[in-house]
Amino acid sequence: MADIITEREWHGNPRPILSYNTGVFVEQVASPYYADGRDVPVIQNFTTPVPLTDLAPAATIDVAGPTPLVEFTLDGLWPELTSLTIYLTLTDTVVGDYNEVLFSPQLEGPVQAAAGVADAISLHPELLATSDGQTVLVSALAPVTAITITTLTVA
């Protein structure tokens, strides 16, 4: 797993938007620049709206439902093939409930993972999902009247 090596606070303009840049050590690889074959570190940077203090992937339900809009937050780093199981029960559905196991295709930060999860949920014809930083917002489209998050687990 990766290790935090740097953490910075950035204030953007024109409004003071606070964001955190976390650099993580991923692995050592042979450098193509040195003839003696020395190893160099591979470092990835992730920008998040909150400090990335815990690197373990996590998903937290913020609004479970039953409501027309549910939301959950992703945190930590999402290594390749980390799975997120999402079961959404839909009221008055024609197509059926949303039951999926999604996998992280590569090492991702929580903002990237949330965007990918929102895109996957939006493939359901009765749901519209968007991401706002690390938070995924899922809203019901007609004829669905309510959504309930019944399962949200990381493995």
Q: pLDDT (tens digit, 9 = 90+) per residue, 58-90?
A: 999 999 989 999 999 998 888 888 999 999 999
Backbone angles phi, psi at 58, to 5 degrees: -150, 150
Taking 90 as the threshold, does the pLDDT of residue 154 lie above it? yes
Please name each of the domains of the chain with its CATH number: 3-48 (no CATH), 58-154 (2.60.40.4390)
Instruction: State pLDDT tens for residues 109-138.
Output: 898 899 999 999 999 999 999 999 899 999
Q: What is the rounded distance in angstroms from the CA atom of residue 154 to the CA atom of residue 102?
A: 10
93-112 pLDDT, tens per residue? Answer: 898 899 999 998 888 889 88
For 12, 48, 52, 94, 120, the CA distances from 17, given in Å and listed in that order, are 5, 11, 16, 42, 28
Q: What is the pTM of this model?
A: 0.76
Summarize pLDDT for 12-65 with one digit per residue, the tens: 665 556 777 788 887 888 888 888 888 988 888 887 777 777 778 999 999 998
